[in-house]
Structure 1
């Protein structure tokens, strides 16, 4: 009984990708004649046009730079803060953790106007560092929460033994907690990379110029520019979707672990 709805869900999930791939391999004439038929002679011209002429290569590079820098900062700051809030007890630590938890429930639309004004004042609008900092601010509470939950389940005896051996708090973090937290770091890094890569709203707010657009914003803009050339638009969508699909295929186990990181002892 369960197999039927699961199969239907799988078909509903896979079909849009198959349809987009089929359209991207058609000529405009073939698409106008029959949208649903398989491509008669699959062509890569639309992919080449979207990559070079439309500017998807530049958008791809922008996304790669921003996502890499943002994820690196999130992992460094999030792991340190997670260790402090998950393992250390100091005045205000509980309040700080609850503050991070509360920040998870604040929609970006609530803070987008103050954020835009602050970034404009600092001269960070339409710059890669500005978008990186916006992503860090948006996704840092999630990262801290997962890392703190993971570190909270590390046996206390390990930390005590490291302290007895003469390690400072930073030494405990660098030599003990960081290696032990590698599975959680991988999981949260993948999730943050997906969040940043798929984002449209923050990137659209922070990057108004066409030259600095990220990939997803570039794909969104194609809808208006190529409304009469759907195969080229589909090629742009396919270029944007392939990296995400590859991440899901190769790291699906880590993504599942990231969702449940810290929920059980291990």
Structure 2
């Protein structure tokens, strides 16, 4: 009994230390964003003397964060919509429609998960440049779809494989075409997986820097994360202003984690469970 209590206390202490290590950087960044440059130079670890929103408003307006925020919304929304549409269709086809090469195609998507973006970024950039898609919203959206589609197909295929084939057969007997089965059966039943995968893909696209930096070199098309890195170079001596940009970029991600943490956990484990 005493050993089990000790084990629980050890686990609780470890989880508390992990929580502090996760929360402290955000609190430190928020505190720095509230300071003046003078306060930060003299004592960067002390608490801010007052709640100041000047740095945040300056980063939002003068630093261009408002434009970068809109760019990220456009790109992430378009990429997630395409990923869910193509990924759900491919997942239904690979899990319930038997055709020649379906197994090899699924294994190919699975193998693509292990290919780092650095391996394909040069040919991808050349292809995008040849087609005139560099520094455009569609080009960045298609780059995100190409990068995260194997992950989406894998999870959707794994989830749809848990749906009994008898349901699909009954729908086909009722006169539904494959598209009708997908629209009337698979989409409603796959809603939990679609939500989980959509949240994960939104976080991946929102937090990306490398792909966005490669595909959108001009300031007018920068995403929020790329804008934060450029803010660091533009205001090297004004760390509170840079911290304000980091805070603006982190708040949407934090809100998603707070309200959709169950869906994020379900999305992470969706591919590891099979009924």
TM-score, normalised to structure 2, is 0.95
Residue in 1 that maps onto 2:186? 177
Structure 1 counterpart of 2:210? 201
2:250 to 217, 241, 250: 241
Measured in 2, the distance between the counterparts of 1:35 and 1:263 equals 45
Q: Structure 1: how far apart are the matches of 2:122 and 2:108?
A: 21
Cα RMSD (Å) of the superposition?
0.9
C-alpha deviation, 1:263, in angstroms: 3.4
Deviations 1:59-110 (A, max 9, x none): 0000000000000000000000010011111101011001100000000000
Equivalent residue, structure 2, for 1:4: 13
Deviations 1:215-251 (A, max 9, x none): 0001011111111000000000000000000000000
Q: Does 1:132 align with 2:104?
A: no
Confirm or deny: 8 A CA contact 2:78 2:141 kept in the other structure: yes
In the alignment, structure 2 segments of 5+ residues that lack a partner are: 1-9
1:110 has 2:119 as partner? yes
d(CA) in 1 for partners of 2:186, 2:138: 29
Indicate yes or no: 2:104 matched with 1:95. yes
Secondary structure (helix, strand or coil) at the match of 2:253 reads: helix
1:66 alignment partner, one of 75, 96, 108: 75
Query: Residue 232 of structure 1 aligns with which residue?
Result: 241
- Do 2:208 and 2:225's aligned partners in 1 also have CA atoms closer than 8 Å? yes
Query: Partner residue of 2:5?
Result: none
Q: Distance in 2 between matches of 1:13 and 1:73?
A: 32
- Unaligned runs of at least 5 residues, structure 1: none
Q: Is the 8 A contact 2:228 2:249 kept in 1?
A: yes
